[in-house]
Amino acid sequence: MRGIVYTGNDVEVTDELTVGDPGPTEVKVAVGAAGVCHSDLSVINGTIPWRAPSVLGHEGAGVVEAVGSEVRSVKPGDHVVIATLASCGTCRACSTGHPTWCVKTLGNVSTPFTYKGEPASNFAATSVFAESTIVKEVQAVKISKDVPLTSACLIGCGVLTGVGAVLNRAKVRAGETAAVFGVGGVGLNVIQGLRLAGASRIIAVDMLASKEGLARQFGATHFVDASATDAVAAIREIVPPGPARVTGALGWTGGVNWSFDCVGHPAVLRNALDVLDWGGNALAIGIPPQGTEVSVDVNALAYVDRGLLGCRYGSSRPHHDIPLMVELYLSGKLMLDELVTEQQPLEGFRTIVEEMEAGKLARGVLTF
């Protein structure tokens, strides 16, 4: 079987993989398409420490090949989006509708593969950079066959993370304002989530001016080229304080209601905090290296009700949110096809990586 394996200091496209049969509560999926996410690259460059050898990929969709004896929600032939949350379903977090809080979803590693005769781990409980993979039943969410797998796969991470951050974690209301730092696959989905929520001003910020067209296509009302101007100052010009607002000892008193750091860099997160209006909140979505810290004036938060929120996987409930994303797509409200700016077979993985690092892609997709 073909797949992409992280070997500890590099990746290898190989045909020396095998995968076993599903256990009683597991599903075997023939992967049809898989998006390449920066989290995969973060394993390769060491930002996310992971064991080797491992089969990479965590944003996928495919067709059910086989199911375990206790599986009831899907059957062979069903099309599914694979969620990364291998939640237990029984803890307090799961039972109250917060599967991203389930402690069993972090560091969830098993070895369903063999690579050159040795056990190989999964990544993010998914491993969709392979012709077939095995996941828990809770991770395989049935979808309509009307959605192309090349588009559906993006729901599994980038869409849930970005749109979910807006609708689930922030719960942005119509008329509110927002700034989005980083116009990659996740940032574009934050932007279209804000459009769906009815935000009045959606300010996209990126170091590449070439991202403006995509940002506006997905719903941005303004674009700031952070390579050519002070992003904080530019946002303050776009969203100035109202006539009754004054600049006091704590500094700026206008700004956006929401900001989203989709980059994962301390300087960007600090900018995301600095552009907030009183009562505004910044969401940390991008993943920096472990141990990364950011300096914050606590008074600038406490005195004026500003906040900093973490947001994992869009605070999503996959069995609710994936069908919702499909419904929005089929009704023409959610853009999926437009996210796919490059398709390659497995052997084209490095081409996608190079174009991602050059900022040329919204999302690159591997096809099988």
76 and 208 in a single domain? The answer is: no
- 143, 165: one domain: no
Query: Is the pLDDT confidence value at 107 over 90?
Result: no
The whole-number pLDDT of residue 342 equals 96
Which of 109, 98, 131, 102 lies closest to 52, judged by CA? Answer: 109
Do 287 and 164 sit in the same domain of this protein?
yes
Digit-coded pLDDT (tens) for 214-265: 999 999 999 999 999 999 999 999 998 766 555 555 555 679 999 999 999 9
pLDDT over 60 (residue 17):
yes
pLDDT digits (tens, 9 = 90+) for 187-224: 999 999 999 999 999 999 999 999 999 999 999 999 99
Same domain, 78 and 140: yes
Note whether 258 and 344 are same-domain residues: no
Does 324 fall in a domain?
no
- pLDDT at position 240: 83
Are residues 307 and 358 both part of a single domain? no
Residue 294 located in a structural domain: yes
Q: Which domain holds residue 343?
A: 3-147+336-367
Q: Residues 325, 351, 84, CA angle at the centre, nearest 5°?
A: 35
Q: Does residue 174 share a domain with residue 102?
A: no
255-311 tens-digit pLDDT? 999 999 999 999 999 999 999 999 999 999 998 988 999 999 898 899 889 999 999
Same domain, 129 and 46: yes
Pick 321 or 254 by higher pLDDT: 321
- Do 10 and 142 reside in the same domain of the chain? yes
Residue 242: its pLDDT value, please?
Answer: 66
Q: Is 251 left (phi over 0), alpha (psi -120 to 50) or beta?
A: left
The pLDDT assigned to 251 comes to 56
Rounded to the nearest integer, the mean pLDDT of the chain is: 95
255 belongs to a structural domain: yes
Q: Supply the pLDDT for residue 244.
A: 55
**Residue at 342 is within a domain:** yes
Question: Is residue 152 one of the residues assigned to a domain?
Answer: no
What is the tens place of the pLDDT at every residue in 34-69?
999 999 999 998 888 899 999 999 999 999 999 999
- The answer to whether residue 114 sits within a structural domain is yes
For residue 321, is it within any domain?
no
62/130 same-domain check: yes
Residue found under tokens 């959605």: 147
Co-location of 301 and 343 in the same domain: no
Q: 346 and 209 share a domain?
A: no
Q: What percent of the chain has pLDDT over 70?
A: 97
State the residue for tokens 């059957």: 75
| Domain at 111, CATH number | 3.90.180.10
Judge whether 133 lies within some domain: yes
**Of 128, 136, 118, 131, residue with least CA distance to 51:** 118
Q: How many domains does the chain have?
A: 2
pLDDT digits (tens, 9 = 90+) for 123-172: 999 999 999 999 999 999 999 999 999 999 999 999 999 999 999 999 99
pTM above 0.75, yes or no: yes
Percentage with pLDDT > 90 across the chain: 90
